[in-house]
Structure 1
Amino acid sequence: MSIHSPKALPGVSRRTAVAMAGGLLAAPRAQAQKAPWPQQPIKFVIGYPPGGGGDGVGRPLALGLERRLGVPVVLDYRPGAGGAIAAQAVAHAPADGHTLYLADNGAISVTPAYRSVGYRPADFSYVGGIGELPMVLVAHPEVQARDIRELAALSHTRPQGLSYASGGVGSIPHLEAEMLRLQARMKAVHVAYKGSGQASTDLISGVVDFAFFAPTGVAQHVQSGRLRALAVTTPQRLAALPAVPTVAELSFPTLQATYMSGVLAPRGLPAPVFERLSAALAEVLADPEVVRQLEATGLLVGHRAPAAAQEAFEKDLDKWRALIHAAKLKLD
């Protein structure tokens, strides 16, 4: 089929006719470029298997975002490497607003502190912070210590010091215990497990002496007397363990540490998409029912605006990187 130059209409110059025809051809393209977002389902990437802690946080957020954005928000599980597999997938996804990441500081500001991964913390758009999961320092009841200083003193009465458990090398509880060891000048040996489940079982059995865990995993054991809680890692005491002092109350304020959560996207989102996403997340986190569901996981819900969320993750990276250097840890 041949294409002919447009003929001039009566009273219209040939040049004007050409311009009019070009405008008609360009109109569909301009409309496509200005099509409202989102135009397809949004993937919400989670770095842990189905049924884990990521579900308890991811599902309420996904449903809340669905209601506000008008398209399905589908959970996409990418487990492995402490969340680094998921983080890498999102960092290299198209920056069109159709891929989100339920991020935590384990993948964003801990793993990059000690080994090379296929992304940098700067490779993301920080849509906003969700909240923080605190940790509690717990010991077996036969460990004769009621606070951090007594725990440190006790460690020097044993030839090998005290033993502490974690759910894996390079995990936040591992690094927090190393920070405790340095700041309290303790003698302590790390016993790494493949997950927090076996670590807590062995702590309750007395195989190891102490550990840091999320309160949701150990509060019932503290209340039953099977474990003794020495401190919480938050600025304020926890409602679930109101009698347990904070690390700051025990004169160790720099031991404050939590699992931080946020919603991230690939770097370079168009400004209108980024603004709508961040506004939608803020609305979701202001919904009392969503807050109730998130708090049921142990999360201390607290929305952070994009800039504040990015700053929090960056400061966390600096903290763990400094610790790894000071403690001369070999984590890779």
Structure 2
Amino acid sequence: MKNFMKIVMAGVTTTLLAGSAAYAEDWRPDQPVRMIVAFAPGGPVDLVGREIAQRLGEFLGQPVIVENMGGAGGIIGAQHVASSDPDGQTIFFAAAGNVVIRPLMDGNTEIAKQLRSVGLVSKSPHAMVVNNDLEVQNVAELIAYAKEHPGELNFGSAGTGAAAHLGFEMFKLATGVEIEHIPYKGSAPAIVDLAAGAVDMSLSSIPSLTAMLEAGKIRMIALTDEAPSDIGVPLVSDTVEGYAYSTWYGVMVPTATDDSVVAALNEGLAVAVSDEALRERMAGMGAKLVHSTPEEMEAFFNVEVEKWDKVIEAAGLRK
């Protein structure tokens, strides 16, 4: 799976579904396409979605119009697309939170059955950061310190079920350490309190940490997955075997959507993520543009479900 996630477009579209070129010639939308983004305007999901939508629309010959449809942790948007006509005119800009994490926490197994993978477009690692006064320089020292001081350390996250929360729950499950969760209403206040020493550690996107890192108030000790460029920071998996996660985005459509539609959309995504200027801009936001076939995204999706299901069960987060 690690090798799969290294598949990155480099100005080519050779990783398309077999026969997609022939399929793609058979289908084009006859009116503007709706891309449902299940989060508010201006956030990271929305920003990446709009960039992809613009380029996908250019490829398809019809505008791809982003519609923000938040609510219920993204479930409302996902269900809207799942119940739409399977004609390629309504597509879902999916994220782990709304098609994997929230459904698993809610015990909702139907969403995954109602949506079909088209292709991944990006992934972003999180950085593991600690307050500068915490006397650990790396993951091994953090584990040792936590085991020597059980229950004394805590971590902040954007809230229950957030990526940082589950990332630390996975860390606890893999290492056996005891670290208390302090939920916040958003990642920004969690990072502010981390810098102030109110919490000991957190996980967050690299760009969100820049100011506090430059001020010397927090320290980055590891990444949860490979970054868009080499920043000289080790991976958590260098110490904790098998530990890895990224926030990721991709496109999904109703399950009954025809292969020709999926192939055309997939080819459009390949072209979109091959835009070098966009790749550089996304790298500055901590995001690595990728391309996958529908089958590869589906396989990745199934691994994500299995991985986070174990974490959610172990943490007692199932509703």
Alignment of 1:1-332 (within 5 A): 37-117=28-108, 119-158=110-149, 160-234=151-225, 236=226, 239=229, 241-242=231-232, 244-249=233-238, 251-325=239-313, 327-332=314-319
Matching residue's letter, 1:321: D
Tell me if the contact between 1:91 and 1:123 (Cα under 8 Å) persists in the aligned partners.
yes
SS of the counterpart of 2:88?
Answer: coil
Question: Which residue type is aligned with residue 219 of structure 1?
Answer: T
Paired residue secondary structure (1:259): strand
Give per-residue Cα distances to partners, 1:60-86, cap 9 Å, x unaligned.
Answer: 111101111111211100122332221
Greater mean alpha carbon deviation, residues 67-76 or residues 156-165: 156-165
Greater gyration radius: 1
The code of the aligned residue for 2:231 comes to L
Is the CA contact 1:137–1:212 (under 8 Å) kept in the aligned structure 2?
yes
Which sits farther off after the overlay, 206-215 or 216-225?
Answer: 216-225
Alignment check: 8 A CA contact 2:150 2:179 kept? no
- Deviation string 1:276-315 (CA, Å, 9 cap, x unpaired) is 1111111111222332333332211111111101111110
Q: TM-score, normalised by structure 1?
A: 0.83
> Taking CA–CA contacts closer than 8 Å with sequence separation of 6 or more, which of the two structures ends up with the larger relative contact order?
2
- 1:121, 1:65 → 2: CA distance? 24
**Number of matched pairs:** 294
1:219–1:241 contact (8 Å) kept in structure 2: no
Give the letter for the 2:317 counterpart. Answer: K
Equivalent residue of 2:120, what SS? strand
Q: % of aligned pairs identical?
A: 28
TM-score by length of 2: 0.86
Q: Distance in 2 between matches of 1:258 and 1:308?
A: 16
The alignment partner of 2:237 has SS state of coil
* Structure 1 residues 36 and 222, CA gap change in structure 2 (3 angstroms): closer
8 Å contact kept, 1:167–1:193: yes
One-letter code of the match for 2:208?
Answer: G
Q: Distance in 1 between matches of 2:112 and 2:118?
A: 13
